[in-house]
Amino acid sequence: NKGVFAHWFSGEIRCPMGKQIEYVHMGYASKYEHDFLVEFNKGILVAKKTVSNSLDITKGE
């Protein structure tokens, strides 16, 4: 099975990982323990990183 080269895509893809630590009802704004971010430019992977998230203690969370 061969993949499709997505030359038409440039942008970032967010892959949430771990437990959900903040729920947001609309859209994809819920926060998870970690986010794996991959960035593409014209279908070519140009960057990838893992971000650790935490609750905002200034909001009393």
| Within-domain flag for 47 | yes
User: What tokens appear for 31 in the block?
Assistant: 């926060």
Query: What is the distance between the alpha carbons of residues 30 and 7, in angstroms, rounded to a whole number?
Result: 29
Which of 51, 47, 20 lies closest to 36 in space, CA to CA? 51
Q: Containing domain of residue 47, as a range?
A: 11-54
Give the total number of structural domains in the chain: 1
| Within-domain flag for 50 | yes
| Within-domain flag for 41 | yes
What pLDDT sits at residue 23?
93
pTM assigned to the model? 0.78
User: What tokens appear for 5 in the block?
Assistant: 């080269």
Backbone angles phi, psi at 6, to 5 degrees: -90, 65
What pLDDT sits at residue 36?
98
pLDDT along the chain (61 residues), means of 10: 92 97 90 97 98 77 54
| Within-domain flag for 21 | yes
Which of 42, 19, 45, 43 lies closest to 31 in space, CA to CA? 19
Phi-psi region of 15 (alpha: psi -120 to 50; beta: other; left: phi over 0): beta
| Within-domain flag for 6 | no
